[in-house]
Structure 1
């Protein structure tokens, strides 16, 4: 594969790369995000020159950390999606002009054991927007500093520090692509692995870890996929982060593909925000110190579990009974909220919620006849409605209960 790094990008890299003996993690994390979320990569959409430039940067950092290539072509593992507009399209080994070719980037720290841990983060984003954008207006570059240059920066930091430790288990690092289109890269890797999946102890996924705020809230999804997770997370939480745990191994990110192969998973996430899938998700809003805290917690976890037995896998309850919706309220849930109800983190234009007068910060406590205590009860309640139905939404606004009539 040809090298695709532009002169501007190379200048950026060589000016700011730290020598190993002078490694400054905050500065390097900032540099990683600055490169990956640069306008010169045009939003890193899968199948574009920007994606290839991002892949080349990740490989450069893998090589500098001393990782061994573990793809099908050096560090690369290519996949092809013919019907890219089909939400159920499956990546394959085919190739051709009528479709999209993407690249996973895979490197490994080769330690004595045959068992391994997988650390992953998707590096693709939305390019100029496409169908997943929440931006309204003229087309603009979606740099995706939080989604997910932040997760890649955390992954690269872990590659650098874990390569210097004397561990027993191998550590496989995967920069995954095509996540924004439907988990293409992780789907393809788990069905065409370059390692023996039966030897994987667990998989760690970092997707949007760049906005740790003053509440120090960190969502950790997948805690029900192994009996050890709750104890282990509390044991390694030396920075006293507020852990908001969710048991399900299924979610809108790449850990799902590994969970479906009976591998224990955890997904780390610092929360939704107003810039999600918009051009405003840029480098000036990133908390590099917060990324380091998340990565350091994962580092402690991998080190602590290195000489222990392989952990047990458990299925979570909701993968087969996730509610299906035909309508939407038009709100963005606050995934970091751990109180009773479903807190709203944003409202969409021209949707039922905003038309009724529901606002950001309101907490939905009842939808129709259903009491809402958490995200799952909200989704179950919403799944009972169809287009044209009318109902009442009760919210808590600053301690006051208000009811709104809505029509789907």
Structure 2
């Protein structure tokens, strides 16, 4: 994989230098490079992240995008001091003991009055550390789904929009740095924009779009941030099982734009057992699914091309309603499950759920005295327990109700 990806970068560089017709680069090719061991997990501020940034810049140049920055470069850098307190606000500063992140920005100028932002973060966790769910020491976290997948779709959208006759908007493509450390790159951009924020029509964010399931469930958040979103998303849909969520606030870069009163959408194919672990690798992605998502986003963009600037709507902040927990079950919830209960998408080793015999695919329907009908009721029930408590849990396993005891 490494040899293939390095050859790809070389060919892109040669193509850019000679100003010849760009070579055809697929979604799989982009992921192969960005999620290769040679980039050591693309941690913000490292030389490996800069290699990824250079690759993305070369791809943008080969597509024919232009830089959109005051210094006519594709890069927007920002320096900050790492947080000691997770509740502390990041300060963007220069000086000693700082980390420098690099956003990569390319512009497609259609001489329009309004601009669409298309974004995806390209940083990941490096060798693990804070944020990793891997407990066996240092290991390369390649982040194929999180978020080489989103960057690969971004680049395909750029390539397609360069040749399409959708001239109602300009398009600004941003590969964000620092997302894993707290949406740092997108937050910096909206505070130091390279275009007039009042001219932004809407923002589309792709974060973890690489594992579309067999039933084609696709989660889209931010649907309440513009009155037209539901109509457009449903009319453009040609086969996805859509899970639409209204809130413009979530754990990804669209949040930074929503907080600037810009309509947003976040595309997401769901969490999985390899999330923030070394197993999130190139060969586990659904590339046909990623191509389908790319085509769907293009259809949404086309439908909005001749429409006026979207009206912004504030939405309920669902994250403010999330209860605080003193304990954890030790499972990965299936956030795309739309049935009754909380479906388990993965079970962590040596945690309460595994010790109680719970399995991937089980649907939690009762926890203690609480009936579980959805994710929120599950979180409310979980928040009532403390470490050392024991209780009964009932799961639906292939239609059979199974009761067991769990100790936190």
Shift of 1:91: 4.3
The answer for the alignment partner of 1:193 in structure 2 is 193
Pair 1:380–1:278, CA change in 2 (3 A) = same
Alignment of 1:2-401 (within 5 A): 11-15=7-11, 24=24, 28-73=26-71, 74-166=73-165, 167-238=167-238, 240-317=239-316, 318-401=318-401
Query: How far is the alpha carbon of 1:389 from its aligned partner?
Result: 3.5
Report if the CA contact (8 A) 1:16-1:31 is conserved: no
Deviation string 1:289-347 (CA, Å, 9 cap, x unpaired) is: 21111011111111210110222222222243232222211110012211111100111
**How far 1:31 moved relative to its partner?**
1.2
Tell me: CA distance 1:391–1:259, structure 2 relative to 1, closer, same or farther (3 Å): farther
Partners in 2 of 1:390 and 1:170 — Cα distance?
A: 57
Tell me the residue number matched to 1:3: none
Give the TM-score of the pair, scaled to structure 1.
0.91
Q: Deviations over 1:159-210 (max 9, x none)?
A: 1111222312111111011111111111221222222222222111101111
Aligned to 2:224, what secondary structure does the other structure show? Answer: helix
In 1, Cα distance between equivalents of 2:206 and 2:227 = 21
Displacement after TM superposition at 1:213 (Å): 2.9
Q: RMSD in angstroms over aligned alpha carbons?
A: 2.3
Cα distance in 2 between the residues matched to 1:254 and 1:93 = 17
> Displacement of 1:268 after TM fit?
0.8
Range with bigger deviation, 83-92 or 269-278? 83-92
Taking a change above 3 Å as real, the CA distance of residues 192 and 382 of structure 1, as seen in their structure-2 partners, is: farther
Once the two structures are TM-superposed, the CA of residue 82 in structure 1 deviates from its matched residue by: 0.7
Structure 1 residue 235: Cα displacement: 1.2
Shift of 1:377: 2.0
Q: Which moved more, 1:127-136 or 1:172-181?
A: 127-136
Secondary structure of residue in 2 paired with 1:179: coil
Offset from partner CA, 1:228-250 (integer Å, 9 cap, x none): 22211111112x11112222222
Distance 1:92 1:75, change over 3 A: farther
Native 8 Å contact 2:6 2:33 kept in 1? no
1:148-168 deviation digits (Å, cap 9, x = unpaired): 111000000111111222312
- The answer (yes or no) to whether the contact 1:78–1:93 under 8 Å persists in 2 is no
2:126 and 2:142 in contact (8 A); partners too: yes
CA–CA separation in structure 1 for the residues paired with 2:5 and 2:94 = 28
Shift of 1:385: 2.9
**Offset at residue 54 of structure 1 (A):** 0.6
CA distance in structure 1 between the aligned counterparts of 2:192 and 2:320, rounded to whole angstroms: 24
Instruction: Report if aligned partners of 1:87, 1:181 keep a CA contact under 8 Å in 2.
Output: no
Take 2:407 and 2:97, find their aligned partners in 1: how far apart are those partners? 41
| Residue ranges of structure 2 left out of the alignment (5+ in a row) | none
Number of equivalences = 400
**What's the counterpart of residue 407 of structure 1?**
407
CA distance in 2 between counterparts of 1:357 and 1:61 reads 48
Deviation of the 1:145 alpha carbon: 1.1
Going from structure 1 to structure 2, the CA distance change for 1:18 and 1:117 (only over 3 Å counts) comes to: farther
Distance 1:347 1:160, change over 3 A: same
Q: What per-residue deviation string (whole Å, max 9, x for no partner) do you get for residues 273-296 of structure 1?
A: 222111111111122221111011
Q: Cα distance, 1:89 vs. partner? A: 4.6
Contact 1:87 1:182 in 2 (8 A): no
Asked if 2 retains the 8 angstrom alpha-carbon contact of 1:37 and 1:145, the reply is yes
For the 8 Å contact 1:83–1:89, the answer to whether it is kept is no
Deviates more, 1:370-379 or 1:124-133: 370-379
Q: Is the 8 A contact 1:144 1:277 kept in 2?
A: yes
- Provide closer, same or farther for how the CA distance between residues 207 and 356 of structure 1 changes in structure 2, counting only shifts above 3 A: same
